[in-house]
A and B are shown apart, each in its own frame.
Chain A
């Protein structure tokens, strides 16, 4: 995808910041659409802390956990009960767009909220056990092209979920047809799936880079490709991207926010710029580094388009595998 980090743009926005008319007064709420402890909860709590440190909010940011339907309960709540609320942000990620695309939030779609921005991502990988005969992504996908049932994949999401879609995105980019025939075994989480791949029960693992660190460092897991535009920073810089190997597949599992569509334009502007300011701050860079988040921040005016495009892509894929009629 086309997005790069536009640091200069963000720096400019900081200057204009103090001139903003609207500022949140009092308590700001961040809805985490899951139980405490998960990724969305982390997004709300860490962003809340940094916003307070940076003085972007005058009061405190209170995290409100609202679990249910993989974010559907919080989405419905935002659309109906918070329609005009200026002081609420809702944590979102690829899981949100996936469910929207697959119509898992009945009667709701991506256009019913305002997408504020992304603050980093976790990138998809495809990996095999250390004794596997596949040495790179091309070998693996060539086998899939020849016989869609040749390689069995295991991942931590349901069928049609993001881990499954990564395989399909890569296979499609490599020119494979018969996507629905590619065997995918869904586990409760990436760890369980990896255990099966390391144990030699299943051929390949699909998941996020942050999940695989442990087995990667112990040498039990060989990462064939990371599905990113460019090589990842730090200890991941040895891993080849799919693009380098000639397969145009990118799958960022981003973390970010949406807010009510009916909020005032001033408030929306304020939060978009607040997220920009936050993203460039040193405090946030520290949070990203210590939590394995990788830079990902589409410019403010492109984020809404990015979300819609992702929803569209997922919808198409879901139709191809027969998940959507």
Chain B
């Protein structure tokens, strides 16, 4: 009941016209970003961070804007999956399987409508799960000491490649790069400077936000310049809505299963939305069995993965808000934003920054309703936006990135740094080294180091403290599984996924 009271306060924050306006804006921009192939939710949120700084938004508004973009991107990803057979982002991959066949049969409008409703159901289930689980987990987090945190960060790193990771070696390289970058600056455990070479600007280390905006937004621009400049996608006819109410009702069990499964997948650190949509789709196929026409345009094949990935996107917020360990790339970006707003995730945030936490959660609920409303009648608008040439988008994104980063610190040095990160990001992507592990390494590396140091101070140098408590031991076990499973089961899963998808998406 206490939770309900907090939630009401959250609604009071989220429903102010100012915050509502930014939630709506975030939902629209997020959907747009989601449906542009290649621009995933992590990039989307990264691109919007400078805008939050440029406009000088208060913390709760900034977070509401970014979470709305996040939710919107999850909705938007399905549009290009269905219409073009190109997933707008990785989690929308599974939606191609039945969405595109439906579109080819002239039922694009139906597929878009069902997937919008399924996204709503998934998002709603995920958010309700978040509301119930987060405060409990936040209190439980008090029992985490340095040894448990160390094991938890280890778990996050172990599951980083995830089951969908393509090349584990490249994931390791990426995470190592992130950790290396994070060692620059003062080492808080010893108070000494590392890798600063007497350059004053490096003394406080490298700002995550700089790295994130550079790696994601600037490298995205370079990619656009290289391959996509000038061209929009061809105009697509969506057709008329022929979906009957009965048909929609028949997918409700599918949506519920997908949402719950997605939420659970999202809560696990490192797994994220792609796994959520994959599991939901696979489970649905198993349950329905031969009666379905999966792969040929089954309506449940659209509903399941969409409910799954939207459930997962809310689920991924749970470990981020309660333990400070992001469950996915996008939540890592959101975590960086929270840190730069001087808010520390964890049990304290639920009491000291209750207005922000609950405002964001309420905004997620409101955002889901807004997105449902936006996505059914306005789907034609987003489809038309797909055909806007990126040449109009590019200069705006560049301008916002530069103004935003400059407005944080008023330092031209930071701008050079951001561009350098952008160029580095471009080359990393050319080498197919994923960027999300770089960010996670950058964010989690110092925390893991700190907690290792602390654990050893507490035990006076005895390493066995790291696995002394049952909780720590459990975390080690899960970490071990997280490391081993992808090697054993991963190739099998990937083969099935790839067999199902002819056109591989642009990786993020």
Q: Can you list 17 pairs linking A and B with CB atoms under 8 Å apart?
A: A35-B408, A67-B204, A67-B408, A68-B200, A68-B413, A69-B200, A159-B188, A161-B191, A185-B146, A185-B458, A191-B346, A191-B348, A194-B348, A196-B146, A198-B142, A214-B348, A214-B351
Q: Is the CB of A37 within 8 A of B342?
A: yes
Tell me, rounded to whole Å, the shortest Cβ–Cβ distance linking A196 to chain B: 7
Q: Give the chain B neighbours of A72 by CB distance below 8 A.
A: 200, 203
Q: Render A68-94 as a binary contact track against B, CB cut-off 8 A, 1 for contact.
A: 111011001000000000000000000
Contacts of B191 in A (CB 8 A): 102, 158-161, 164, 323
A231 at the interface (CB under 8 A from B): no
Contact B411 A66 (CB under 8 A): yes
B231 within 8 A of A: no
B434 within 8 A of A: no
Residue of B145, B200, B450 with most partner-chain A CB within 10 A: B200
A201 to B141, CA, bound (A): 11
Segment 119-135 of A: residues with Cβ below 8 Å from B: none
- Please report the C-alpha to C-alpha distance between residue A164 and residue B190 in the assembled complex, in whole angstroms: 11
Are A70 and B203 touching (Cβ within 8 A)? yes
Query: A233 contacts the other chain (Cβ, under 8 Å)?
Result: no
- Closest-CB distance, B199 to chain A (whole angstroms): 9
Interface residues as binary, B255-269 with A (CB distance below 8 Å gives 1, 0 otherwise): 000000000000000
Q: How far is the CA of A69 from the CA of B199 in the complex (A)?
A: 9
Decide yes or no whether B143 CB sits under 8 A from chain A: yes
Q: For the complex, is A18 an interface residue (Cβ under 8 Å from B)? A: no
Do residues B410 and A66 form an inter-chain contact, with CB atoms below 8 A?
yes
**Residues of chain A with a CB closer than 8 A to B142's CB:** 195, 198-199
Q: Is A67 a contact partner of B409 (Cβ separation < 8 A)?
A: yes
Chain A 37-50 near chain B by CB (<8 Å), digits 1 or 0? 11000000000000
Q: Kindly state the interface size class of chain A when it binds its partner.
A: 35 or more
How far does the alpha carbon of A110 sit from the alpha carbon of B486 in the complex, in Å?
57
Residue from A106, A164, A218 with most neighbouring chain B CB atoms (10 Å): A106
Is B188 within 8 A of A186, CB to CB? yes
Instruction: Tell me if A64 counts as interface (CB < 8 A to partner B).
Output: yes
Interface residues of chain B, those whose CB is within 8 Å of chain A, are 56, 141-146, 186-193, 198, 200-201, 203-204, 339-342, 344, 346-348, 351-352, 408-411, 413, 450, 453-454, 457-458, 460
Residues on B with beta carbons closer than 8 Å to the beta carbon of A157: 188
Residue pair A68, B203 in contact (C-beta under 8 Å): yes
When C-beta atoms are compared, the residue in chain B nearest to A69 turns out to be B203
Q: Which 8 A-B pairs have the closest CB atoms?
A: A69-B203, A160-B191, A201-B145, A199-B142, A159-B191, A158-B188, A69-B200, A186-B188
A277 to B417, CA, bound (A): 43
Q: Which of A70, A106, A191 has the most CB of B within 10 A?
A: A191
A243 to chain B, nearest CB (A): 28
Measured between alpha carbons, how far is A230 from B368 in the docked complex, in Å?
54
CB-CB < 8 A to A73: which residues of B? 200-201, 411
Complex Cα distance A191/B142, Å?
12
A169 to B190, CA, bound (A): 18
Query: Is A172 an interface position by the 8 A CB rule?
Result: no
Asked if B190 and A159 make an inter-chain contact with CB atoms under 8 angstroms apart, the answer reads yes
> For chain A residues 95-120, which have a beta carbon within 8 Å of chain B?
102, 104-106
Q: Is the CB of A37 within 8 A of B188?
A: no
**Chain B residue, CB-CB nearest to A191:** B348
Q: Are A195 and B204 in contact (CB under 8 A)?
A: no
Residues on A with C-beta less than 8 A from B450 are 186-187
A196 contact set on B, CB distance < 8 A: 145-146
Nearest B residue to A321 by beta-carbon distance?
B191
On chain A, the residues within 8 Å of B340 by CB distance are: 35
Q: DSSP majority for the A interface?
A: loop
Known interface pairs A73-B200, A106-B198, A199-B143; 9 further A-B residue pairs with C-beta atoms within 8 A, sorted by A's residue number: A38-B342, A67-B409, A102-B191, A158-B188, A186-B188, A198-B142, A199-B142, A201-B144, A214-B348
On chain B, the residues within 8 Å of A159 by CB distance are 188-191
Residues in B whose Cβ lies below 8 Å from that of A187: 450
**Cβ–Cβ < 8 Å partners of A244 in chain B:** none
Once the chains are docked, how many angstroms separate the CA of A38 from the CA of B411? 17
Q: Point out the residue from A70, A195, A201, A202 that lies within 8 Å of B348, measured CB to CB.
A: A195
Contacts of B339 in A (CB 8 A): 188
Check A138 for interface membership: any CB of B closer than 8 A: no
Which of chain B's residues have a CB closer than 8 A to the CB of A210?
none
Q: Specify which chain B residues have a CB less than 8 angstroms from the CB of A202 in the assembled complex.
A: 145, 458
Bound CA span A104–B192, Å? 9
CA distance A323 to B408 in the complex (A): 32
Q: Which of A52-67 contact B (CB under 8 A)?
A: 64-67
A64-B410, A158-B191 known; A104+B203 contact, CB < 8 A: yes
CA distance A158 to B187 in the complex (A): 7
| A186→B189 CA distance, assembly (Å) | 6
Are A195's CB and B346's CB within 8 A? Answer: yes
Q: Give the contacts of A129-182 with B (CB-CB under 8 A).
A: 149, 152, 157-161, 164
CB pair B341–A37 under 8 Å, yes or no, is yes
CB neighbours of A189 from chain B (8 A):
342, 344
Does residue A26 face the partner (Cβ distance < 8 Å to B)? no
For residue B276, give the distance in angstroms from its CB to the closest CB of chain A: 30
Q: What separation, in Å, do the CA atoms of A196 and B450 have in the docked complex?
A: 13
| Interface presence of A183 (CB below 8 A) | yes
The answer, yes or no, to whether A266 is at the interface (CB within 8 Å) is no
Does A269 sit within 8 A of B, measured CB to CB? Answer: no
B457 and A68 form a contact (CB under 8 A): no
Q: Which residue of A lies closest to B142 (CB)?
A: A199
B-side contacts of A192, CB under 8 Å: 344, 346, 348
B341 to chain A: closest CB distance in Å? 7
B411 to chain A: which residues have CB within 8 Å? 66-68, 73
Q: Which residues of A contact B56 (CB under 8 A)?
A: 36
Contacts of A214 in B (CB 8 A): 348, 351-352
Q: Which residues of A contact B198 (CB under 8 A)?
A: 106
Shortest Cβ distance from B135 into chain A, in angstroms? 15
Complex CA distance for A164 and B146, rounded to whole angstroms: 18
A38 to B341, CA, bound (A): 10
Measured between alpha carbons, how far is A186 from B201 in the docked complex, in Å?
Answer: 22
Question: How many angstroms between the C-alpha atoms of A185 and B456 in the bound complex?
Answer: 10
- Residues of chain A contacted by B344 (CB below 8 angstroms): 188-189, 191-192
Chain A positions within 8 Å of B342 at CB level: 37-38, 189
CB nearest neighbor in A for B59: A37
CB distance from B461 to the nearest CB of A (A): 11
- Chain A residues near B188 (CB, 8 Å)? 157-159, 161, 186, 188
Identify the interface centre among B145, B187, B348: most chain A CB within 10 Å of its CB: B348
Take A149-B460, A199-B142, A201-B145 as given contacts and tell me if A65 and B409 are in contact as well, using a CB distance cutoff of 8 Å.
yes
The answer to whether A68 and B204 touch (CB under 8 A), given A159-B190, A199-B142, is: yes
Asked whether, in the complex, the Cβ of A199 is within 8 Å of the Cβ of B145, the reply is yes
List chain B residues, Cβ under 8 A from A76.
Answer: 200
Q: Provide the bound-state CA to CA distance between A152 and B340, in Å.
A: 29
> How far is the CB of A257 from the nearest CB of chain B, in Å?
19
Complex CA gap A316/B56 in Å reads 42
The answer to whether B458 touches A152 (Cβ under 8 A) is yes
Q: Which A residues are in CB contact (< 8 Å) with B460?
A: 149, 183
CA gap between A122 and B496 in the complex, in Å: 61
Measured CA separation A37–B342 after assembly (Å): 8
Closest to A75 in B: B200
When chains A and B are docked, how far (Å) is the Cα of A253 from the Cα of B502?
63
Chain B hits for A37, CB < 8 A: 341-342
State whether A35 and B409 are in contact (beta carbons under 8 Å apart), knowing that A69-B204, A199-B145 are contacts in the complex. Answer: yes
